[in-house]
């Protein structure tokens, strides 16, 4: 079975942003820091490979480098060193409400996001009722999205994005905490079943999440990140147990 993602000794640095509201103590500590240029290492010498049809999990505390890693794989960020090799079309999902325009109606958002995700108007028309029914928000179809609750916005955005993805059938799907807050249990279960459909079609998935039960249930292999480094790699039970013992 071939590899869809090969990450070799990847490192990524960022410059710290200095803002006017930061106090004297913060500035002094930053000045005294050994990284005098105000840089920090978001990723340090990361290496792993993801096979075809594999579900690869990424766990770690906030700030450990999970989102940065997925963005490097997606090509949003360029690594400072190391190589990233991917094979096939990539789709990156980050947060339920990404791209939603709150001043537009639900109907208008479906067409706008559908086009932005590569579908033609004809293709959106074909998927339209499926998107609406999956979201469970048909009665709000012509309401402005700024009137929606955060949970409703999450459901709308996820429904649009996932049906666009299933239509394109990508080779690699990068999922960054989209099964987080704002998704009720029933909708989350429906969404996971959709993810299973994509896996059966042959997509390789990299799933970054704080939901350890989700990682344990779906992932074949897992890495644990801490301060931008891989501190553990292996099967899901082994890595999750290590994480829970060392949090």
CATH code where residue 213 lies: 3.40.50.300
95 assigned to some structural domain: no
pLDDT digits (tens, 9 = 90+) for 150-185: 888 888 888 888 888 777 778 998 988 766 544 567
Quote the mean pLDDT of the chain. Answer: 85
Are 49 and 81 in a shared domain? yes
94 assigned to some structural domain: no
**pLDDT for the residue 166:** 75
Q: Which parts of the chain sit beneath pLDDT 70?
A: 1, 16-38, 95-98, 178-184, 199
In total, the chain counts a number of residues equal to: 247
Q: What is the pTM of this model?
A: 0.79
**pLDDT for the residue 44:** 96
pLDDT digits (tens, 9 = 90+) for 106-131: 999 999 999 888 889 999 999 999 99
Residue 228 contacts by C-beta under 8 Å, 6 or more apart in sequence? 12, 41, 42, 43, 44, 46, 64, 65, 68
Are 134 and 202 in a shared domain? no
**pLDDT for the residue 167:** 73
Are 123 and 8 in a shared domain? no
**pLDDT for the residue 72:** 96
Are 147 and 160 in a shared domain? yes
Domain containing 104 equals 100-169
**pLDDT for the residue 9:** 97
Spatial distance between the Cα atoms of 65 and 208, rounded to a whole number of angstroms:
10
Domain boundary residue among 108, 140, 169?
Answer: 169
Are 110 and 174 in a shared domain? no
């Amino acid at each position: 079975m071939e590899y869809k993602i090969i990450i070799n000794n990847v490192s990524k640095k960022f410059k710290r942003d200095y803002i006017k509201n930061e106090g004297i103590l913060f500035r002094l500590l930053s000045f005294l820091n050994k990284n005098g240029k105000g840089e920090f290492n978001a990723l340090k010498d990361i290496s792993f490979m993801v096979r075809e049809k594999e579900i690869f999990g990424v766990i770690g505390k906030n700030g450990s480098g999970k989102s940065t890693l997925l963005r490097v794989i997606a090509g949003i960020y360029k690594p400072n060193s190391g190589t990233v090799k991917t094979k096939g079309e990539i789709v990156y999902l980050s947060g339920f409400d990404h791209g939603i325009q709150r001043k537009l109606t639900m109907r208008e958002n479906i067409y706008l996001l559908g086009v932005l995700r590569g579908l033609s108007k004809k293709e959106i028309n074909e998927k339209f009722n499926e998107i609406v029914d999956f979201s469970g928000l048909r009665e709000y179809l012509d309401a402005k999205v700024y009137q929606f609750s955060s949970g409703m916005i999450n459901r709308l955005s996820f429904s649009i994005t996932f049906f666009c993805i299933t239509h394109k059938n990508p080779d690699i799907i990068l999922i960054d905490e989209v099964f987080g807050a704002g998704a009720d249990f029933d909708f989350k279960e429906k969404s996971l079943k959709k993810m299973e459909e994509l896996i059966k079609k042959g997509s390789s998935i990299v799933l970054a999440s704080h939901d350890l039960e989700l990682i344990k249930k779906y992932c074949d292999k897992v890495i644990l990140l801490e301060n931008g480094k891989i501190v553990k790699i292996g099967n899901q039970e082994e890595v999750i147990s290590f994480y829970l013992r060392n949090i």
